[in-house]
Each structure stands twice: as structure tokens, then as C-alpha cells.
Amino acid sequence: MPGFVAVYWVASPADAGVATVIFDSEEAATGFASFLPSAPAEAGVTLDRERIEVGRVMAHT
């Protein structure tokens, strides 16, 4: 993945979770977000294709 920096998976109740993928630029993040709706399904992974968002990192410690 061009521009990929890191990914964080957070487990939540009811066998659900959230992933945050970090890229080195908004352009790289937007490109990846554009690809996801057409990405092939993976066994054991559910992707809510309606809730893909791109945002900016506001702080890092």
C-alpha cells in the first residue's frame, strides 16, 4: 500500500471491531479509501463499505 504507515485494530463488544489505518499523506489515504469498496471479501472480515472515512491526525504523542 503506497504511503502506509501503521494500522490499529480495536476490539469492541459483540465480535465487532474498528480499524484505523494511518498513511503518510491525505492523497494516499484517499486512494486506499477509494479502493476498499471494490476490494474482494476476506474470510472472517466484515467491512462496512458505507462507513469508510478519511480524516487528519490531529495529535501524536
For 11-53, what is each residue's pLDDT tens digit? 887 777 888 999 999 999 999 999 988 888 888 778 888 889 9
pLDDT at 3: 96
pLDDT at 50: 84
Q: What is the pTM of this model?
A: 0.79
**All structural domains of the chain with their residue ranges:** 4-38
* CB burial of residue 23 (10 Å; 0-12, 13-18, 19+): buried
pLDDT band at 5 (very low <50, low <70, confident <90, very high): very high
* Closest C-alpha to 47, from 56, 38, 59: 38
pLDDT at 49: 81
pLDDT at 33: 93
